[in-house]
């Protein structure tokens, strides 16, 4: 045991030292663990002074291994590896013991916590002796980037990269980019027109020399890893030739089939079977929806084909699969609206004049189904009074515990639009007003002045059952006004539900395709909630916009740009270093049984017919270690997770278990004489 190990135990201020006797654990490690040359505790090891301490010790005391007992390796392993490398010690000769997330933050008793810390340090010390120096492998970064989702976040990310000269594939599942923002009329808090600020960006995307726009397309599959992903993209049959179509729109005009548009118009308006979701669509090229097209239904019509001046209609088109090679992937898949039917007492779907926020947004839009007029479901009557209900499906443990973040401002925006367009009385029933960003509070004050009426209380019910004559023919909002301390029944003509912003219904599947997961609330999980909100645990996969959590347009734009900056940095550097955690087969030991061959999901193991042994292709191996665990000849070594290392860690962790020699207890019926089958 010639290794000289340095053990460093972090206080992390009071985060660790508050629950763990750090000095005692350090003293104990120094005095009892074999190989430990030096053991120190320090207030904040991750600080530059803390790192310098380790670096200097390595040089002055000739340390050959380092154990850092601190936070999770997911947080600071890189930091301490760098500290080792700076002192000339191979960075893989470090092992961390996670004594914060796994001990101090989860344990009540100081005594028990300190004992657990000792075990974790003992495990790390035992393991680190078996570490081998490893070198990260440099991997070239393909300069192409794949952006999934063409809402404002994806658009921003694509433009930032393309403007920097880097090629982008932008994949959007709908016929046009634009996302939800394209559905809005005005945007809070400035009330600038959504189309005016969005459409220039959309056309820029459409015309950009470095952006390959793939609308009406879906991500099928992703393989590879950072620097070199391979993505399969399904280009759904459009039945319109993109090269030939000029976007004149004649086909749309002449198509005889009209159906309710559930996506862009949120069910409020109609579209044709051949359509672009809205006039400013990018690209302007329409798609035929085979589910509503008369030709696909009963082999008749083809009016569009006959009328198209450029013969762009092609009913024989098939889905195509496009394979692209990219270095990084940005997910910007956005949000879906809470299904307001899930709260039956609010009456949505049953009471005609209860609307969702998205429906109302379309109604306010000058190019929307009502031409921008705010009217009841009958399409003509202007409401004389409207009640906006906040937090529908948000801040409610039955649905979503989180705050959707945008609804207070959305409600104010709607209040303003209703007052402006109709002069109706506008109530908002809120739990708390949270207009907490730049210029938001000012907007709230403005609406107070404009005469919007605020009722503090969570709405219990929306009903059409009148109790008094003034309630006849109205919708009655039943709410406890918590400021007045009494129940109120507010009769109105129209109710608008501020449905929660939720994760896309298919986000889980999308996440799995690229190897990232979702939180309990559904959002894609970021690498770090504060310090790295756009990266994920999977290198080379980034998230931006509302798919990471509810947010407004400015934040979605900021994240799109941030993700792009990160990717651009990597591309301009040209290479990334990837961990050399791969399997290798000792051909001397391999018996050629081929058990491992089929175990690898990445087909990284080849059988060499001549030598009759198996060999791992290090480029394909991702280092899961399953083959290592399976080889009956113990011929496979998993770098940095070798059997030796793990077994040493087990021994170390159980330093206090006295492996053998304890007296047999009598209360062990399950240990009746063992009978091996």
Partner 1 sequence: MERERFEPRIIGFFCNWCSYRAADGAGTARVKYAPNVRVIRLMCSGRVDPSFVLKALASGADGVLIAGCHPGECHYIEQNYKTMRRYAMLTQTLRALGISERRVRLVWASAAEGTQLAAAVDEMVEDLRLLGPLHWSANLREEDHEAAFEHILHEHEQAMEVTR
Ligand X SMILES: Cc1cc2nc3c(=O)[nH]c(=O)nc-3n(C[C@H](O)[C@H](O)[C@H](O)COP(=O)(O)OP(=O)(O)OC[C@H]3O[C@@H](n4cnc5c(N)ncnc54)[C@H](O)[C@@H]3O)c2cc1C
Q: In the complex, which residues of this chain contact ligand X (CB under 6 A)?
A: 148-154, 171-174, 179-181, 184, 187-188, 218-219, 332-335, 337, 357-358, 361, 406, 410, 413, 501, 504, 510, 545-546, 551-554, 556
x/- track of binding to ligand SF4 for residues 456-485 (CB under 6 A): ------------------------------
Say how far apart CA 334 and CA 523 lie, in whole Å. Answer: 10
Say how far apart CA 386 and CA 82 lie, in whole Å. Answer: 61
Helix (H) or strand (E) holding 214, with range, is: strand 211-214
Interacting residue with ligand SF4 among 625, 639, 645, 648 (CB under 6 A) = 625
Say how far apart CA 535 and CA 537 lie, in whole Å. Answer: 7
In the range 240-269, which residues lie near ligand SF4 by CB under 6 A? Answer: none
Crossing angle, helix 407-422 and helix 357-364, to 10 degrees?
Answer: 40
> Of 602 and 607, which CB lies nearer to partner 1 in the complex structure?
602
Say how far apart CA 523 and CA 667 lie, in whole Å. Answer: 48
Q: Tell me the closest approach of the beta carbon of residue 144 to ligand X, in angstroms.
A: 17
- CA dihedral in degrees (604, 609, 611, 615; nearest 10)? 0
Q: Tell me the closest approach of the beta carbon of residue 227 to ligand SF4, in angstroms.
A: 17
- B/e letters for 486-501, b = 16+ CB within 10 Å, e = fewer, are eeebbbbbbbbbbbbb
Q: Are 96 and 81 in contact (CB under 8 A)?
A: no
Interacting residue with ligand SF4 among 546, 621, 639, 648 (CB under 6 A) = 621
Concatenating the DSSP letter of every residue in 85-96 gives HHTT--GGGEEE
# residues near ligand SF4 by CB under 6 A = 29
> Of 308 and 330, which CB lies nearer to ligand X in the complex structure?
330
x/- track of binding to ligand SF4 for residues 572-611 (CB under 6 A): ----------xx-x----xxxxxxx--xx-x-xx------
635 binds, among partner 1, ligand SF4, ligand X, none (CB under 5 to 8 A by kind): ligand SF4
> Could you tell me which of 428, 385, 386 has the C-alpha nearest to residue 408?
428
> Of 53 and 620, which CB lies nearer to ligand SF4 in the complex structure?
620
Say how far apart CA 45 and CA 8 lie, in whole Å. Answer: 8
417 binds, among partner 1, ligand SF4, ligand X, none (CB under 5 to 8 A by kind): none
Q: Tell me the closest approach of the beta carbon of residue 435 to ligand X, in angstroms.
A: 12
Say how far apart CA 281 and CA 196 lie, in whole Å. Answer: 13
Does residue number 614 form part of the binding site for ligand SF4 (CB under 6 A)? yes
> Could you tell me which of 134, 213, 208, 136 has the C-alpha nearest to residue 172?
213
Helix (H) or strand (E) holding 496, with range, is: strand 494-499
406 binds, among ligand SF4, ligand X, partner 1, none (CB under 5 to 8 A by kind): ligand X
> Could you tell me which of 586, 584, 585, 566 has the C-alpha nearest to residue 576?
566
Q: Tell me the closest approach of the beta carbon of residue 638 to ligand SF4, in angstroms.
A: 6
591 binds, among ligand SF4, ligand X, partner 1, none (CB under 5 to 8 A by kind): ligand SF4
Q: Tell me the closest approach of the beta carbon of residue 347 to ligand X, in angstroms.
A: 19
Say how far apart CA 320 and CA 313 lie, in whole Å. Answer: 17
3-state secondary structure of 43: coil
103 binds, among partner 1, ligand X, ligand SF4, none (CB under 5 to 8 A by kind): partner 1
Q: Tell me the closest approach of the beta carbon of residue 392 to ligand X, in angstroms.
A: 11
73 binds, among ligand SF4, ligand X, partner 1, none (CB under 5 to 8 A by kind): partner 1
Does residue number 639 form part of the binding site for ligand SF4 (CB under 6 A)? no
> Of 316 and 588, which CB lies nearer to ligand SF4 in the complex structure?
588
611 binds, among partner 1, ligand X, ligand SF4, none (CB under 5 to 8 A by kind): none
102 binds, among ligand SF4, partner 1, ligand X, none (CB under 5 to 8 A by kind): partner 1
Concatenating the DSSP letter of every residue in 382-431 gives PPSEEEEEEEESSS-TTS--S--SSHHHHHHHHHHHHHHHH--EEEEEES
> Of 222 and 245, which CB lies nearer to ligand X in the complex structure?
222
Helix (H) or strand (E) holding 10, with range, is: strand 5-10
Q: Tell me the closest approach of the beta carbon of residue 608 to ligand SF4, in angstroms.
A: 10
> Of 307 and 595, which CB lies nearer to ligand SF4 in the complex structure?
595
Q: Tell me the closest approach of the beta carbon of residue 631 to ligand SF4, in angstroms.
A: 3
361 binds, among partner 1, ligand SF4, ligand X, none (CB under 5 to 8 A by kind): ligand X
418 binds, among ligand X, ligand SF4, partner 1, none (CB under 5 to 8 A by kind): none
Q: Are 292 and 273 in contact (CB under 8 A)?
A: yes
> Of 87 and 600, which CB lies nearer to ligand SF4 in the complex structure?
600
Q: Are 253 and 296 in contact (CB under 8 A)?
A: no
Does residue number 223 form part of the binding site for ligand SF4 (CB under 6 A)? no
Strand partners, 240: 313
> Could you tell me which of 88, 33, 81, 35 has the C-alpha nearest to residue 60?
88
Q: Cβ atoms within 10 A of the Cβ of 300, count?
A: 8
Say how far apart CA 177 and CA 199 lie, in whole Å. Answer: 10
Q: Tell me the closest approach of the beta carbon of residue 600 to ligand SF4, in angstroms.
A: 3
616 binds, among ligand X, partner 1, ligand SF4, none (CB under 5 to 8 A by kind): ligand SF4
Q: Is the peptide bond before 339 cis (omega within 30 degrees of 0)?
A: no
> Of 103 and 583, which CB lies nearer to ligand SF4 in the complex structure?
583
Q: Is the peptide bond before 402 cis (omega within 30 degrees of 0)?
A: no
116 binds, among ligand SF4, ligand X, partner 1, none (CB under 5 to 8 A by kind): partner 1
Interacting residue with ligand SF4 among 635, 639, 648, 653 (CB under 6 A) = 635
Residues that bind ligand SF4 (CB under 6 A): 582-583, 585, 590-596, 599-600, 602, 604-605, 613-614, 616, 621-627, 631, 633, 635-636
């Amino acid at each position: 045991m010639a290794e000289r190990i340095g053990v460093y135990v972090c206080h992390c201020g009071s985060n660790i030292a508050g629950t763990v006797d750090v000095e005692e654990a350090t003293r104990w490690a120094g005095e009892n663990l074999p190989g430990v040359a030096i053991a120190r505790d320090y207030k904040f090891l991750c600080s530059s002074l803390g790192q310098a301490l380790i670096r200097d010790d390595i040089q002055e005391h000739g340390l050959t291994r380092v154990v850092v007992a601190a936070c999770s390796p997911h947080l600071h392993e890189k930091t301490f590896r760098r500290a080792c490398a700076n002192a000339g010690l191979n960075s893989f000769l470090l092992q961390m013991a996670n004594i914060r997330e796994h001990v101090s933050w989860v344990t009540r008793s100081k005594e028990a916590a300190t004992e657990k810390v000792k075990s974790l340090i003992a495990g790390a010390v035992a393991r680190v002796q078996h570490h081998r120096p490893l070198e990260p492998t440099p991997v070239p970064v393909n300069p192409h980037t794949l952006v999934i989702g063409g809402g404002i976040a994806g658009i921003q990310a694509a433009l930032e990269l393309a403007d920097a000269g880097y090629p982008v594939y932008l994949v959007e599942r709908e016929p046009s980019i634009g996302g939800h923002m394209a559905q809005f009329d005005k945007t809070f808090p400035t009330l600038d027109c959504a189309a005016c600020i969005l459409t220039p960006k959309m056309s820029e995307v459409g015309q950009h020399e470095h952006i390959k726009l793939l609308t009406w397309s879906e991500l099928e599959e992703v393989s590879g890893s950072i620097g070199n992903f391979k993505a399969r993209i399904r280009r759904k049959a459009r039945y319109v030739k993109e090269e030939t179509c000029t976007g004149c729109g004649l086909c749309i005009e002449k198509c005889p089939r009209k159906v309710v548009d559930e996506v862009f118009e949120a069910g409020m308006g109609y579209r044709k079977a051949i359509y672009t979701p809205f006039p400013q669509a990018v690209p302007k090229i329409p798609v035929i929806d085979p589910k509503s097209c008369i030709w696909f239904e009963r082999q008749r019509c083809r009016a569009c084909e006959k009328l198209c001046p450029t013969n762009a209609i092609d009913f024989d088109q098939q889905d195509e699969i496009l394979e692209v090679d990219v270095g990084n992937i940005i997910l910007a898949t956005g949000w879906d609206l809470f299904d307001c039917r899930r709260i039956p007492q609010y009456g949505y779907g049953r009471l005609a004049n209860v609307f969702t926020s998205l429906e109302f947004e379309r109604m306010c839009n000058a190019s929307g189904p009502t031409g921008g007029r705010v009217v009841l479901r009958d399409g003509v009557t202007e409401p004389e009074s409207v009640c906006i209900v906040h937090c529908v499906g948000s801040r409610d443990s039955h649905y979503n515990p989180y705050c959707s973040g945008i609804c207070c401002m959305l409600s104010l925006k709607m209040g303003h639009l209703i007052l402006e367009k109709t002069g109706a009385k506008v109530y908002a029933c809120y739990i708390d007003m949270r207009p907490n960003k730049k210029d938001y509070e000012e907007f709230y004050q403005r609406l107070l002045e404009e005469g919007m009426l605020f009722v503090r209380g969570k709405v219990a019910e929306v009903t059409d059952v009148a109790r008094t004559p003034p309630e006849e023919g109205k919708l009655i909002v039943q709410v406890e006004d918590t400021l007045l301390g009494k129940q109120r029944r507010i009769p109105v003509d129209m109710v608008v539900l501020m449905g929660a912003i939720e994760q896309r219904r298919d986000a889980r599947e999308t996440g799995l395709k690229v190897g990232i997961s979702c939180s309990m609330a559904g959002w894609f999980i970021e690498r770090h909630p504060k310090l790295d909100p756009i990266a994920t645990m999977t290198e080379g996969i980034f998230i931006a916009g509302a798919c990471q959590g509810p947010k407004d347009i400015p934040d979605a734009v900021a994240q799109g740009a941030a993700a792009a900056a990160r990717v651009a940095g990597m591309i301009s550097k040209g290479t990334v270093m990837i961990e050399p955690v791969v399997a290798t087969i000792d051909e001397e030991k391999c018996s050629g049984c081929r058990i491992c061959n089929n175990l690898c999901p990445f087909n990284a193991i080849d059988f060499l017919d001549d030598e009759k042994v198996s060999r791992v292709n290090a480029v394909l191996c991702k280092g899961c270690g399953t083959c290592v665990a399976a080889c009956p000849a113990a011929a496979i070594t998993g770098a940095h997770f070798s059997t030796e290392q793990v077994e040493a860690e087990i021994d170390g962790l159980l330093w206090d278990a006295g492996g053998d020699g304890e007296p047999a207890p009598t209360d062990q019926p399950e240990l009746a004489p063992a009978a091996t089958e």
